[in-house]
Structure 1
Amino acid sequence: MLAHEGDGEICRLTLHAPEIARRAAPGQFVQVHPVPVALRPSAPAIDPLLRRPFSLCEIRPEEGEITLIYRVVGRGTRVLSSVPAGAELDLLGPLGRSFPDPRAGRGLLVLVGGGLGIPPMAAAARWAAQARRDAVAILGARTARYLAGAREVAASGMPVVTVTDDGSAGQQGIVTEPLDRMLRHGAAAAAGRPGAANPVGEVWACGPEPMLAAVKELCTAAGVPCFVSVERFMGCGFGACLGCTVPRAGGGYLKTCQDGPVFPAEEVVLGGF
């Protein structure tokens, strides 16, 4: 662990993980055990027992580093938040299906991140910039405090539209409002800027499931391809425990850890819970 900083609730973790950084793509995740390797007993009675899944915020293969941003919400993340820089952690990854190659798409790429769905948009933004894909990000949270990862998205150089529920940063509102304007009138309209319309060709989204359901509905109505990154509790991260299933459109279930977490929106049923 190279660096670990936070305010007791939102934490930023930088790890030296050359193999993961070399192989990972935006949208994938890692499973992290919150107890440092040096403190784990040889017996199996480790508490917490299971690794925790975290999306990749930054992927820097040239430095062999990855960055994770997470919120302290339970025992696992609380234990992890107390681990000092310099400790060695047990990681599994990269796991899951990533966003599609931005070079394969056409038209304006819109990245939509809500709350803790913002950090993975940073890796996606950098990927799009490296591919020279015309792109814009819409980032939203309850308040300015919860826009963790927005700085990393902006560092890619792409335009960013920021919204918060209370208006403490950017526009007051929710991410679907500028997305709707963008789908109807182009990127300049969503940002409130004059200029020629730039039609949206593709949308990538990550955030709370009600947000994903609303984004999917808007994109379906506009006839725009949409990819959603779905969050689920994950016990193993590689398809064995079946604890992360999501309903498949047309029946059955998909494993978020293996078939996702990124899905074409039409493949999954988003219940809004």
Structure 2
Amino acid sequence: MSGVQEKFSVKMASSSSTLELTQAGGQFILKPLPVIVVSPEAVPANEHLTMQLARQVFRLPTAACAVPRFATGQPAYLTRRFDVLTAKSRLLQEDFAQLGGRTSQQHGANYKYDYSYEEMGLLIRRALPSTYLPELTAFFRLLLFNYLVGNGDAHLKNFSLHRTPPNKAYHLTPAYDLLNTELHFPYESDTAVPLFADPATDPPAFTALGYYTHDDFLELGRRLGLPLSRVRKLLADIVGHESQVQALIDRSFLPEDLKTAYAAVLAGRRQRLRYSLGA
């Protein structure tokens, strides 16, 4: 969560199975508890659950992760760096702020939020003209998932492309920094950035209701050049799997009251994603 959660580079100690801080050669990223949020002690469990939902239920590629505990018993969130191959080898990677030429020096402190998902999708088309369709499909699926789970911090720097062996082609990276931010920031906006580049062209559903629905994501898919049959299939899939989702919530590290709150967020988002003003 931007501005409230520290991140530390760590590696496995050569003489033991413990993790140690490092300035170079980091294999993992460690996030201890944040401070200025609601229910800070549940943040690691929240992110771990959200990543597992993405990976196990919706089959999204994700960074490997875990919830270790310090000697005090305090939980933390740990994720393996997917860009690190060996101690001296890393994958070339650029996040969408870099792809879009967005910097704090040129665009201000809000640079990673002053954009839209429509423009991010068009960056993929421009950067990957010969392979954009599968990558754009993966990007759209990830947008739907973020909306479903109430992730209001999916900004430019939380999406990246990297170049992978053996063909050295660029692909969307595994998903990272996925969590239900609504549990900790109940009054923040539904999305980190708007769906559309020009608010004046928002579909009637958003203007009438004040939140995104089936119609908005269908229109976004159309503008990005995805086949509408594929977009409808992705929309149908994201509102499904309810029993699997609930089973994973029930088995998560979240306290009982937040398991209920987490499930309620998803139920509300499913209702939105099933609603069509036209229908």
Q: How does the TM-score come out when normalised to structure 2?
A: 0.31
Structure with the bigger percentage of helix: 2
Structure with the bigger percentage of strand: 1
Give the number of the structure with larger relative contact order, counting CA–CA contacts within 8 Å between residues 6 or more apart: 2
Q: How does the TM-score come out when normalised to structure 1?
A: 0.32
